[in-house]
Chain A
Amino acid sequence: MRSYSITYFIAEALKGLWRNGVMSLASIAVLVSCLIVLGAFSSLVANINYNLDEIGAVNQIVAFIDPDTSDEDILALRDSIAAMDNVSAVRYISREEAYQSEKEKYSEYPELFAKLEGDNPYTASLVITFADIDRLVNLEQALGEEESIYKVSKRTDIAATIESFKQTVILIATWFMILLLVVSVFVIINTIKLAVFSRRQEISIMRYIGATSGFIMVPFIIEGVIIGLLSGGAAYGIIRAAYGYAARSVSEQLSFLSVMPFDSIGWYLLGAFLGIGLLCGVVGSLISMRRYLDA
């Protein structure tokens, strides 16, 4: 029965990391930076989604009614819109209601309304709540065909802006990540190559003795694994601390935004960090030992 000692493999891996300390630290530093970028961007995206969901609760557009339209026609229009596809509610706001609500809004400036001398400049409107933002275009088209509607305004403009901001963030983050991952793997490859190089004589003796490639490579793969896991752990710690700090300043200075509690993304981040770290470490060491695999 053959027996291989895991403590031997780990001890050799740690010796290797220690012997080329500078390179090991460089690998960890680059991989940590990469994971921090990933963490920062994905926290940002997660929070954008979180806030979008709240804004998204106002899935509404407003149809302004031609002033010449009679009340009966407006009510008929309201009912026909309510029957349209993708519409979940329609609320009628008369000219009078619009006037009163604006007057309340600017109650600190009564002179604005005094100048109107009883004229009501507001138009009646229908506030339409829709169900599915992806089919909003169809709804807008249908509303455009109504003659008594002279303008449709979207309250979702903010949401759309945030949505496109989010897409940009994701795009930048993805490319940045890919770049950093490539750099990380490259640095790890060189670290492990150096470790292999500094042990090349031992390796050649081991080959004469009859050690398998697997036995020879395991310590180097574990080196990669250790680099990966240490980086993942360090990046998690840093992101966790930075998130708390950022959350406090956002809630102080941009109080209209809400910040997700860290715990609701923490486990995903930890898993992703350790997984990506592990993957980079193992891929890096395997690539650096490619020529040993078939010798």
Chain B
Amino acid sequence: MIEFNRVKKVYPNGTVALEDISFEVGDGEFVFIVGASGAGKSTMAKLLLREEKVTSGHLTVGQMHLDNMPDRVVPYYRRKIGMVFQDFRLFPNKTVYENVAFAMQCIGEPKKNIRRRVPSLLEVVGLEDKLKSFPDELSGGEQQRVALARAIANNPDMIIADEPTGNIDPQKSMEIMNLLVKINSVHKKTVLVVTHEKTLVDYFKKRVITISDGRVVGDHRGGMYG
């Protein structure tokens, strides 16, 4: 359960990114977050990752109150979130296999578990035959699939994807969205997808939260874009 309760975010330079945001997302839900550029969508993702702190209001994820979470707890909290970015953010000098394995290594997963789990993760995203490729040998869509495999590697409760199809050919965007839907339905993860892809949002008929100027201006189940 994610709960934004009258969240306001003002950046140190005075920019008001979020004015007054309130909504809830239940466990296992799939939500599209849409809105114009600069509306505050990425800021919401940063707050959820505790990369930024709320200026006022409350943000709760599960039992965790992010407003007063001590810094030393943050890494452990983040292990429960799989983050996917528009620009993939893979490790350029690691292979596909190593990229996923490293996510597990980072949190101290034993080698044995890593060896067992990485191939099945890459199977989920359909890249089992590209284990040894480096990111720059892959298409944008393939790189994003590696990022998805990495996002679920540590078995998080929630996936946050910030414009995951922004750098991908339109034909391949559908694949990525389908994977996110599959991760939601098969792997029972809460999934938040920030996107501009009207066609896709309309196609999937999921919950759509619309943000404008730091406020929620629409929240529709089985919704359409805008």
Residues of A with Cβ closer than 8 Å to B?
1-5, 8, 201-202, 204-213, 215, 294-295
- The smallest C-beta distance from B62 to any residue of chain A, in angstroms, reads 15
Could you tell me the distance between the alpha carbons of A1 and B112 in the complex, rounded to whole angstroms?
A: 12
Asked whether, in the complex, the Cβ of A209 is within 8 Å of the Cβ of B103, the reply is yes
> A209 with B108: in contact, given A202-B91, A294-B71 (CB under 8 Å)?
no
Asked whether, in the complex, the Cβ of A210 is within 8 Å of the Cβ of B111, the reply is no
- Report the nearest B residue to A205, measured CB to CB: B89
> A209 with B91: in contact, given A294-B71, A295-B71 (CB under 8 Å)?
no
Could you tell me the distance between the alpha carbons of A96 and B110 in the complex, rounded to whole angstroms?
A: 93
Asked whether, in the complex, the Cβ of B110 is within 8 Å of the Cβ of A211, the reply is no
Asked whether, in the complex, the Cβ of B71 is within 8 Å of the Cβ of A209, the reply is no
| Residue of A3, A8, A210, A212 with most partner-chain B CB within 10 A | A210
Could you tell me the distance between the alpha carbons of A204 and B91 in the complex, rounded to whole angstroms?
A: 11
13 interchain pairs (CB within 8 A)? A1-B110, A2-B110, A5-B105, A206-B106, A207-B75, A207-B78, A208-B78, A208-B83, A209-B154, A210-B76, A210-B154, A212-B76, A215-B108
Q: How large is the interface on B (under 10, 10 to 19, 20 to 34, 35 or more residues)?
A: 20 to 34
Give which listed residue, B71, B89, B91, B107, contacts A210 with CB less than 8 A. Answer: B107
Residue B169 interfacial (CB < 8 Å): no
- The smallest C-beta distance from A295 to any residue of chain B, in angstroms, reads 7
- Report the nearest A residue to B112, measured CB to CB: A3
Residue B109 interfacial (CB < 8 Å): yes
- Report the nearest A residue to B88, measured CB to CB: A205
Question: Which residues on the A side are within 8 Å of B49 (C-beta)?
Answer: 208
Which 6 residue pairs of A and B lie closest in terms of their CB atoms, listed nearest first?
A2-B108, A210-B79, A210-B78, A211-B106, A3-B110, A212-B75
> A211 with B71: in contact, given A205-B89, A205-B91 (CB under 8 Å)?
no
Question: Which residues on the A side are within 8 Å of B110 (C-beta)?
Answer: 1-3
Which chain B residues (53-105) contact chain A, with CB distance < 8 Å? 71, 75-79, 81, 83, 89, 91, 103, 105
